[in-house]
Amino acid sequence: MRTNRTNKLVLSALFIAIGIILPFVTLQIPSIGNMLLPMHIPVILCGFICGGPYGLIVGFILPLLRSILFGMPPLMPTAVSMSFELATYGLISGIIYQRIAGKRFAAYISLIGAMIAGRIVWGAVSFGLYTLLGNIFTWKIFAMQAVINAIPGIIIQLVLIPLLVSSLKHAGVIRHLSKNEKLDMKAACANRFEPVLTEVNNLLKSNKDNLMIAIDGKCASGKTTLAYYLQSVYDCNLFHMDDFFLREEQKTESRINEIGGNVDYERFKTEVINKLLKKQDVEYTKYSCDNKSIEKSVAIMKHKHLNIIEGSYSQHPYFGNIYDLKIFMDIDDNSQIDNIRKRNGEEKLKRFISEWIPKENAYFNKFAIKEESVIIKWQ
């Protein structure tokens, strides 16, 4: 059993280690280090992956620790001012990204915001330290060290970090950690999910070496919350039916009118389920609702003992009798409407009421999805 906090602590330690090693690439020559900014990269990635608080801690510790271990950067004023700068990088990159992670250019916006804030903090701290040491810190010094000399490092960050973030996102790493950061697992919510934990624990005691769980149910009933909660508790893979919406060319009149046809169940079976049943690694592409197309990058999920499929239509009969545990997330109509309004806004609510909710209900009724599942009610 692994917790999300443990994952973040391990990753934070890894980023500190990377930050200690990377400056050796620049031969610890200050002029080269000031241009390429090698210690910034692991701190920013820590903010993206683990969240702002962890990025802050890693960013603050790294320059001081490296100064103590290797004498580079010099402790005063360089390492101290860098500690405040990198702490700001880690904090701001994490905070901004977790708030806008689903939006276009989120990585660039978060990175640029962290760059600006980090340099402002570095300038303010450097001014204070220079004054304390009896030296003069001018605007020219700030411009040269924070901007002009750092241009190569800034370019490297703008090119490299979004690529790394995109790769990690499609591998499921950032999605897992950032979503769990947002979960507010109150006692009532944990109690609500307790029957599921009991069922999963019983499954894990069995001799079966390939377990599959489906979390189906009404929209805004907590399917995703349960899925990420389970992923924070167990070492498992998590797949989202939302990544398999119908492509535009598939939306024929017959398909739109088909009960349960609102998802690309053929592609999901081919790319995910068939691989899981063969105990193989899964490589699949995700549908982007923003771009209304399949993303070019490929998500790669290594085979694991426990696999969770989350989302409406996850129990579609097209997949066959493949699940070891079926869960249905239930919610009363009024609470469902309130949740959708809060989550999606008034305009999207109208489409849920007129289109998506009726389609889901028709699917639930025709295939008796609720009747064959462990039912978890909204509280």
CA 135, CA 253: separation in Å to the nearest integer? Answer: 75
Question: What per-residue confidence (pLDDT) applies to 2?
Answer: 43
Q: Pick out the chain residues at pLDDT < 50.
A: 1-3, 181
Q: How far is the C-alpha of 328 from the C-alpha of 222, rounded, in Å?
A: 10
Distance, CA of 175 to CA of 229 (rounded, Å): 13
Question: What DSSP state is assigned to residue 171?
Answer: T
Angle at 309 between CA 294 and CA 14, to 5 degrees: 80
Structure tokens at 157: 């960050």
List pLDDT tens digits, range 232-242.
Answer: 888 999 999 99
Beta-carbon-side half-sphere exposure of residue 55 (alpha carbons within 13 Å): 30
Q: Which residues of 178-190 are buried (b: 16+ CB within 10 A; e: fewer)?
A: bbbbeeeeeeeee
Q: Are 37 and 30 in contact (CB under 8 A)?
A: no
Beta-carbon count within 10 A of 278 CB: 11
Q: What angle do CA 333, 336, 338 make, to 5 degrees?
A: 110
Strand partners, 326: 214
Provide the token pair at 377.
Answer: 């009610």
Total Cβ atoms within 10 A of residue 14: 14
Residue 277, amino acid: L
pLDDT of residue 165: 83
Q: Which residues contact 104 (CB under 8 A, 6 or more apart)?
A: 290
CB 32 within 8 A of CB 16: no
- Helices and strands counted in the chain (H then E): 16, 9
pLDDT at residue 191, rounded to an integer: 80
Tell me what pLDDT residue 183 has.
Answer: 52
Diameter over CA atoms, the chain: 79
Reduced to 3 states (helix: H, G, I; strand: E, B; else coil), residue 361 is helix
pLDDT, tens digit, 9 for 90 and up, residues 123-181 = 999 999 999 988 888 899 899 888 888 898 899 999 999 988 877 766 556 655 555 54
> Distance of CA 363 to CAs 218, 226, 313, Å?
11, 21, 8
Q: H/E element holding 46? A: helix 40-50
Q: Please say whether the beta carbons of 212 and 324 come within 8 A.
A: yes
Residues sharing a CB contact under 8 Å with residue 85, sequence separation 6 or more, in sequence order: 59, 118, 119, 121, 122, 125
pLDDT of residue 1: 36
Sheet holding 211-217, edge to edge: 236-240, 306-310, 211-217, 325-330, 374-377
Q: Domains of the chain by range and CATH?
A: 4-172 (1.10.1760.20), 183-377 (3.40.50.300)
pTM: 0.59
How far apart are the C-alpha atoms of 331 and 217, rounded to whole Å? 9
| Token reading at 3 | 């917790």
Residue carrying structure tokens 């609702």: 289
Residue with tokens 């999910």: 193
